[in-house]
Structures are given as C-alpha cells and as structure tokens.
Amino acid sequence: MPRGQVARALILSILLLSWVAAQQISGSITGTVKDSQQASILGAKVVLLSQQQGTTREVSTGTDGSFVLTQLQPGTYNLTVEAAGFKKFEQKDVKIFASDRLTLPEIVLSVGSLNETVTVEASAVQIQTASAERSGVLTNRQVLEVGLLSRSLFDLTRTLPGVITGNSTSGLGVGSINANGNRNNQNNYTLDGVTNMDTGSNGGSLASTNIDMIAEMKVITNSQPAEFGRASGAQIQVVTKGGGKDFHGTGYFFHRHEDLNANTWRNNIDGRARPFYRYNYAGFNIGGPAYIPGKLNRNKDKFFFFVGMEWQNQLIPQSLQNVTVPTALERQGDFSQTHDSAGFSPNVTILDPLNNRTQFPGNKIPTSRINQDGYKILNWYPQANALGKDPSYNYQTYASNQYPRREEVYRGDYNINDKWKTYARYIRNADETKMQYGQWNASYNMPLGPMSFGAPGWSFVANVTTVINPTLTNEFVYGSSRNDLHIYPVTDA
C-alpha cells in the first residue's frame, strides 16, 4: 500500500476514535528495590511473567531503585528481581485486576549469588495507594463458585459492600444496582474497556455475557478516577476470558422447572396450578493455544483463542392478572345479573338510546338490536374462569413469557514479539421475548395476542499494546457496542 494511503488510513482511524467511549482495563505495577542497608539498587533486572500465556516483560530499576510496569492486562503474574551480588528474588501470584495501579511492598535483596533464590509464595493483602477509589473485585473462581439463582453476572454485586440491589428470580440488570447511595440510572458498564451501556434508558446493556465467559468483574463504588467521567454511580468493569498456554474448557446444563418448586399459599387456596417456570441453559467454552504441531505457534506462546456459547430457553412466569370480562349472559345482551366491583346487583342500568333513554325491559338488550360486529369483538375476550371468587373480577390469567436467547463470544490473542501484543474480541446476542401481556409501551392485562420484543446486540473491541522503550508504553483501544430494539406482533390475529 502506498505511503499516502497508509497515512490517510491512520488519520481516519484516529478520527474514528473520537466516537468511541472507552477506558483502559490494563493496570500497572510499581515497586522499589533496596538492599538490607536501605540503599537503592540501580540497574536491577525486573522480569514479569504471565502465568496464563507465559509471556514476559522486563524493565530495570532507576537511580532511586524504583521500577514501573505499565499496560498490563488483568491476570496473575510472577515477578523476579536480579542484581549482581544479590540473591535472586521471586514473588509469585501477583494479581492485577482491571485498571489496577498496584504498588508492591518494598523489595529487599539479600547478599548472595544469583543461583540462590528467595521466593515469596504469599504476601499480605496489597493496599491500593495510587488512587482514592473504593472498589470490589470478583475473580473468576469467585464468579464460578458463588451460588446464583440466575446466570446474571450482576447478581454477583450483592456480595460487595455498599451495594444494594433489586430482587429478581430471572436475574438483575445494570439498572438494578445502587452503590453507596447513588442512583441506579447513574451506573456505567464496560466490557474489556468499551462502554456497554444502553444510554437510551441508562438502565440496560447493549450486549450481554454470562458468568462462564468472564475472567473477572470489578465494581468501583466511590471516588472513581478521572477516566470514569460519564456517570457518578457504580463503574462496572468486566473482563472477558482469553486463551492461555494450556487448554481449558467447560460444558454445562442448568435446569429449572415448576415441578421442582412448591406452589404459593394463595395459589393453593384458590386452586390454581403453578405457572410455567422453566429455565434450560446449555453451553460450553474452550480456550487455549492455537497451533499446528511443528509449523505454527510451536512453543504455544504466540496465538491463543477463546470461544464460548450459551443457549437459553426460558418460560418466565408473570404476575397474576385479575380482570373483568363479559359473562356468557352479557354476551347475549342480558345484563340482569351484572354487578359492580362491590357485588351489588343489579345496579348497572342499560338505557335504550332510541326510546328516550329509558331502561331496557329486564335490563336485557333484544337480540335484534345487537350489532353482529359487536359479537365478533366480544369473542376476542376470553370466557370468565373465576366466577364467584371475588366480585371485583371474574377472570384470572397467569401466562408465562417465552424467552429464547443465545450468547456467543470469540476472542483471539496474538503476542507478536516482546514489544507488540494485540487481541480482538467479539460478542453477539440473539434475544427475542414472546410477551403474553404486551410490552411497556403497548401492554394489556389479558393475553389477547402476544407481542415479540427483541433486543439483539453485539460488542467488539481491539487492543494493541506497544512497549516503545523500558519507560514508555502505548495502548491503543478501539471498540463499538450496539443493540437493536424492536416490537412486532407474533401472529396476525
């Protein structure tokens, strides 16, 4: 490609970035290396090893013995420090969460030879000193081991201090969270650093992912850094899983059924059966090195992949609807037994507009006076099924919404060399609900005709991290998320 075209493409890419709202999910590690006399050690080699992918980053300490490693993807690392005349220092299981600014305790090297190693297997809880933020982190292990009624990752926020949530058996949304007294429409939700909020309502997300597809979730509840300037509520950062040097996979099936639940006391008294309440979730995910033995990615340290899919078939019960419909007598024009909601009968008077508004004899409309089109309209309404239970209604309905969904995630990581790393991730959702009582802007209190409400969405992000020199790195993030809301009738009836 000619240089002019390359330059124009680069300028266009930079301009496009102004339309993308994103924050970095990468973190950093800083520390200081000294000897036992508290003298700073210049030129000590600091190496950081990713436990997941086996890649390394290397820096040297400055004149004050300090070092900094920036643009680190969330994960678990091993840190080693070497200097001539001192024993090698190794600290295992250094954890970096989304946008962490981690300061390690002072590293003190002991006099000795480099073939001797001082290993720190565990350390005290590391305190966030680089910023004033208050946050909670849910790791992949916690995400998978905490028992959940639903498969919504937002249900996990119940475990964090300062967070109050709504109550739902079908899973919480981002708009159900109140953090430290902030409004639930002031939250912000990012996927791999790219905003995923539906700003039309400020209470929903554009694309969704389930708990088996995420590596961690971090919720900043107060004193957010300046990069989170869009909303004043909780800042929810979700990091998706990526492949590593070893293969890992999961297959699962979750099942819920109304026969496994007890009926409610009210239903038992009224003789109503349990409503359809069925959740069937099936899915899998697999990740690891992408390689061809002897030809591509031989050492399994360059290309990595992660793929996950989940199918959800649900019947979600709706609240009991108590309404009044035309009785069999009323459909024939006989209102002699018609009563009001207090049960007083007869107190509804039917007047004849063609006879000086006098009452029809016996409060009955002659069959010859009833319009045939009116009969057809009456047939749209169901027959009464709760006569005599309560004078305020004669019909009860307890229909369940049909809610099939599919979630897909695809991610690829490529470690080009020690200075260049990149990854791309794509999420796609199929989301369509057959709503028995209509949608919020066209609702009704009986199942006259189901409406289909769809909210399919997708999210894409690409990340390139470049180590320019030991003290300068650059992270390029491009992403976009979108959903499509639509409503249409399921049938032509």
Closest by CA to 224, choosing from 163, 161, 136, 133, is 133
Segment 216-240 mean pLDDT: 79
Q: What is the pLDDT of residue 307?
A: 96
Going by the DSSP 8-state scheme, the letter that residue 390 receives in this structure is B
Portion of the chain with pLDDT greater than 70, in percent: 88
Q: What is the pLDDT of residue 11?
A: 41
Segment 347-367 mean pLDDT: 88
Quick one: pLDDT band at residue 310, thresholds 50, 70, 90?
Answer: very high
Quick one: pLDDT band at residue 18, thresholds 50, 70, 90?
Answer: very low
> What is the residue-wise DSSP string for 394-415?
SEEE--EEE--EEEEEEEEEEE
Quick one: pLDDT band at residue 8, thresholds 50, 70, 90?
Answer: very low
Segment 406-426 mean pLDDT: 92
Name every residue whose Cβ is closer than 8 Å to that of residue 13 and which is 6 or more positions away in sequence: 478
Quick one: pLDDT band at residue 414, thresholds 50, 70, 90?
Answer: very high
Which of 19-28, 90-99, 134-143, 349-358 comes out lowest in average pLDDT?
A: 19-28
3-state secondary structure 234-262: CEEEEEECCCCCCCEEEEEEEEECHHHCC
Distance between CA 160 and CA 138 in Å, rounded?
A: 9
Look at 2 and 200; give whichever has higher pLDDT: 200
Residue 20 pLDDT more than 80?
A: no
Residue 248 pLDDT more than 70?
A: yes
Top mean-pLDDT range of 243-247, 278-282, 307-311: 307-311
> What is the residue-wise DSSP string for 167-223?
--SS---GGGEEETT--TTS-EEEETTEE-EETTTTSEESS---GGGEEEEEEEEES
Distance between CA 439 and CA 449 in Å, rounded?
A: 11
Mean pLDDT over all residues of the chain? 82
Which of 8-12, 78-82, 298-302 comes out lowest in average pLDDT?
A: 8-12
> What is the residue-wise DSSP string for 86-141?
B-EEEEEEEEE-TT-EEEPPPEEEPBS-TTSEEEE---PPPP--S---EEEEEEHH
Q: What is the pLDDT of residues 116-173, one digit of tens each?
A: 666 666 555 555 555 656 677 777 777 777 777 777 888 888 888 888 876 655 556 7
Segment 54-62 mean pLDDT: 85
Q: What is the dihedral of CA 282, 429, 191, 48, to 10 degrees?
A: 50
Segment 325-352 mean pLDDT: 83
Residue 36 pLDDT more than 60?
A: yes
Q: What is the pLDDT of residue 172?
A: 65
pTM over 0.85: no
Quick one: pLDDT band at residue 1, thresholds 50, 70, 90?
Answer: very low
Residue 353 pLDDT more than 60?
A: yes
Alpha-carbon distance values, 378 to 89, 138, 387 (Å): 84, 55, 18
Distance between CA 53 and CA 289 in Å, rounded?
A: 9
Residue 430 pLDDT more than 60?
A: yes
Identify how many contiguous H helices and E strands the chain contains and give both numbers: 5, 34
Name every residue whose Cβ is closer than 8 Å to that of residue 312 and which is 6 or more positions away in sequence: 151, 279, 280, 281, 403, 404, 405, 406, 407
Q: What is the pLDDT of residue 311?
A: 94
Q: Which residue reads 């995923």 in tokens?
A: 196
Q: What is the pLDDT of residue 28?
A: 84
Distance between CA 218 and CA 96 in Å, rounded?
A: 11
* Amino acid of residue 33: V
Distance between CA 477 and CA 484 in Å, rounded?
A: 24
Which pair of tokens denotes residue 353?
A: 């507009």
